[in-house]
Amino acid sequence: MPIHEKSLIRSEDLITHEELVLDGVDVSGHWSTFIENRAVTDYNEAMEDEISALPGGEFIHRCWQCGSCTNACTVNAINPDFNPRFWIYLIRTGMEEELLRDKDIIWQCVSCNKCTYACPRDVNPEGVMKATAHWLELKGHTEKKPSMIFDEEFTEQIVTTGKIEDGRVLRRFFAKTGQPLFQEWLVALVRSLVFRLPIGLLTKMGLATLFHPRTRGWSRSRAAMEEYIAERETENRKALGLESKS
């Protein structure tokens, strides 16, 4: 049974008796410190296969734990708990409980691809982060994270119209995540811009919010993509052993 040192050093795993005498020897206080959990028994052996079945996770099996990804990581530099190398290790060894401790930060990967650039084994750690975040959500471990809400809103607009209109994305994203549109910093920004813009351009921008830009003759592309998305969704759920949605 392997011993996973990472889980040994957490304070909740340490037991220290304030008063303890064993065979007449006083081992009170730190003399009696020992680690409670030494072995892991609840492996999720399906986890690596499931995550590698999701888009982006395909090459997780190549990882040999050099840590180049974490070393290069943009988010790790501002939050040391964000550790792609460690998460890949946990996924590959099936340590689900350990992975779940970090379930609420994995979605924060900014897709800068520094990890993918640095990786000597072409694991595509950026893709693994996305697949893992997706897995956590599909399995019901986390609620839908802001980035996923944004991605879905964005994709829906493109699939429907062929184009994106940034004002509309902004409004609908704030509405869906329950944030006020009139945030102090955003208001300050728009105000400084509006005072400098010529009337003609303002009118044009106003009209763009009324008449959304769209690609002409898009309906067949839309149908083809909607069909593909539904197909993929069914496949992904099946790979994770989940019931089909419809």
Partner 1 sequence: MSGKYQRVAYYPGCALEGTGHAYNRSTKAVGKKLGLDLVELKNWNCCGAMEVKNIDPKLQTYLSARNLSIAKDMGFETVMAPCNGCYHNLKKAEYDLKHDSESIEVNDRLATKAGHTKYQSGDVETIHALDWIKHSIGEEGLKQHVKNSLKGLKVANYYGCMYTRPRHIFPEKDQGPGSESTSKPHFMDDLLAAAGAENVEYPLKTACCGGAHTLSDSETSTRLVLNLLETAEACGADVIATECPTCHSGLEMHQKRAETVFGRKTKVNILYFTQLLGLALGLSQRKVGIHENLSDSRDLLFEKRIG
Q: Which residues bind partner 1 (CB under 8 A)?
A: 55-56, 74-75, 78, 108, 110-114, 116-117, 124, 127, 130, 134, 145-152, 154-155, 158, 162-167, 170, 173-174, 177, 184-186, 188-189, 192-193, 196-198, 201, 208, 213, 215-218, 220-221, 223-225, 227-229, 232
- The alpha-carbon radius of gyration of the chain (Å, integer) is 25
Spatial separation of the C-alpha atoms in residues 9 and 12, rounded to whole Å? 9
Query: How far apart are CB 82 and partner 1 at their closest, in Å?
Result: 10
Shortest separation between residue 235's beta carbon and partner 1, angstroms: 10
Query: Measured at the alpha carbon of residue 224, what is the angle toward residues 219 and 228, in degrees to the nearest 5?
Result: 145
Whichever of 85 and 145 has its CB closer to partner 1, that residue is 145
Cβ closest to partner 1, residue 4 vs residue 121? 121
Q: Name the region of 41 (left: φ>0; alpha: ψ -120 to 50; beta: rest).
A: alpha
Q: State which residue, 220 or 245, has the beta carbon closest to partner 1.
A: 220
Please state the closest distance from residue 245 (CB atom) to partner 1, in A: 15
The whole-angstrom separation of Cα 136 and Cα 28 is 43
Q: How far is the CB of 88 from partner 1 (least distance, A)?
A: 17
* CA-CA-CA-CA dihedral for 113, 128, 55, 216, to nearest 10: -30
Q: Within a 13 Å sphere around the CA of 207, how many CA atoms are in the beta-carbon half?
A: 6
How many angstroms from the chain centroid is the CA of residue 112?
A: 14
Minimum Å gap between C-beta 15 and partner 1 is 37
Shorter beta-carbon distance to partner 1: residue 85 or 130: 130
Q: Please say which residue, 6 or 214, places its beta carbon nearer to partner 1.
A: 214
